Amino acid sequence: MLSPVRRMNLSDSMDGIIHSTESFGAADGPGIRFVVFMQGCNMRCKFCHNPDSWGFNGERISAAELLQRALRYSDFWGKNGGITLSGGEPMLQPEFAAQFFGMAKEKGIHTALDTSAQPFCSKDERFAALFRLTDLVLLDIKHIDSEKHRALTGFDNKNILECAKYLDRRNIPVWIRHVVIPGYESDSELLRLGEFIRSLSNVQKTELLPYHTFGSHKWEALGMRYPFGSLPPASRHDIEHAASLINSDTYTP
């Protein structure tokens, strides 16, 4: 059994809880980036390669201190790079994320938020404040079918699709990210995903990420069974097939 995540209320503190940082990230937004992996996620994706980021037991750090840490690498960012908040789920610590991005924007740094958007609610001003300070959202859509999304992650996709439409209305640039899992989506579901993406006017590109098993040892180290067992990684053919059906401006890694 998975233990339930302890929900935190960080409204009294601008400290955040992070899992780790990556100084020279090249896979989470444009250019070279300082990537912060936040602790805490309510989803339980069966392919998660960071199950150790689910709980809120990590390094506690203030936004100012974290920015100072990031700035050590700013010479490498050039015109395109910057900072990315990833996870875990950064939207579970929205006040901290907004303060960190606010400090970064004061210095003219490009900010990217890598999120599943599962916590999103359009009436929650904390998310509006965070998105006002976000230059680019890397939005994960795990599955276009809500019930299959629930089976894959533990939650339906309602908040996520609503968040995509909200970002579109506010013209906030988005890269859609989608993990291709062999045999997990029908052709009609991939076509629906493509239709949804093309209905948005703010999507700059779609990244199809091949399912892999790199994180399975972490599940075992945490005493959990890896749900996909021996499912093989996605092949180039799987990616190309999905790309042809999604038919968006698709980037294939």
- Contact (Cβ atoms closer than 8 angstroms) between residue 197 and residue 161: no
Q: Minimal distance in Å, beta carbon 86 to ligand SF4?
A: 9
Give the range of 16-24, 43-51, 205-213, 233-241 binding ligand SF4 by CB under 6 A: 43-51
**If binding is defined by CB under 6 A, does position 89 make contact with ligand SF4?**
yes
Stretch that binds ligand SF4, among 42-50, 76-84, 165-173, 235-243 (CB under 6 A): 42-50
3-state secondary structure of 129: helix
Binding-residue total with ligand SF4 (CB under 6 A): 11
Radius of gyration of the chain (CA): 17
Structure tokens that stand for 90 in this block: 């950064």
Q: In the structure, how many helices (H) and strands (E) does the chain have?
A: 8, 9
Per-residue contact track with ligand SF4, 204 to 233, x per CB under 6 A? ------------------------------
Q: Can you point out the beta strands (E) in 116-239?
A: 136-140, 174-180, 203-210
Task: Answer whether 40's CB lies under 8 Å from 86's CB.
Answer: no
Tokens 């579901």 belong to 189
Q: Which stretch binds ligand SF4 (CB under 6 A): 47-55, 102-110, 131-139, 181-189?
A: 47-55
Q: Which of 44, 150, 205, 218 binds ligand SF4 (CB under 6 A)?
A: 44
| Binding residues vs ligand SF4 (CB under 6 A) | 41, 43-45, 48, 50, 53, 87-89, 116
